[in-house]
């Protein structure tokens, strides 16, 4: 599978999806002008990955901030991951960022995936 490796900008997160090395990460700030267009390749990649996934998948979210439009797409990504056995979500948040911690907790209640929460 092709690797998705997008460098983060002020408005878009760094995204690294690498099946061969088992790296699945979205990090940084997410407020792209068109969230649906920005995240569509990620959702397409996950759907393709779901056809032949690794034996386990640890998907990391290390977001500092995301806007409302991005939250819908993050939920879409999580929903796509529900179809992949042995998937675990690693939700990282800055130690004093209660909003990001709560956002992860809310997502964890909306999908049938195990979440681990880590502060840094």
Asked if residues 12 and 32 have their Cβ atoms less than 8 Å apart, the reply is: yes
Q: What is the pLDDT of residue 82?
A: 97
Number of domains the chain is built from: 1
pLDDT along the chain (120 residues), means of 10: 97 98 98 98 98 98 98 98 97 97 98 98
Alpha helical stretches, state H, 32-67: 35-50
110 class by beta-carbon count within 10 Å (0-12 exposed, 13-18 middle, 19+ buried): exposed
Q: What is the pLDDT of residue 110?
A: 98
Q: What is the pLDDT of residue 57?
A: 98
Q: What is the pLDDT of residue 87?
A: 98
Query: Domain residues for 11?
Result: 4-119
- The sign of the CA dihedral 10, 82, 105, 25 is negative
Q: What is the pLDDT of residue 71?
A: 98
CA distances 37 to 41, 87, 113, Å, are 8, 25, 25
pTM value?
0.96
């Amino acid at each position: 599978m092709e690797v998705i490796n997008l460098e983060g900008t002020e408005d878009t997160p760094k995204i690294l999806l690498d099946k061969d090395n088992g790296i699945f990460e979205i990090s940084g700030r997410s407020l792209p002008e068109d969230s649906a267009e920005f995240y569509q390749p990620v959702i397409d990649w996950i759907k393709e990955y779901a056809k032949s996934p690794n034996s386990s998948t640890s998907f990391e979210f290390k977001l500092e901030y995301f806007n409302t439009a991005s939250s819908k797409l993050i939920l879409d990504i999580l929903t796509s991951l529900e179809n992949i056995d042995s998937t675990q979500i690693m939700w990282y948040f800055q130690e004093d960022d209660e909003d990001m911690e709560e956002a992860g907790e809310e997502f964890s209640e909306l999908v049938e995936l195990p979440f681990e929460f880590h502060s840094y």
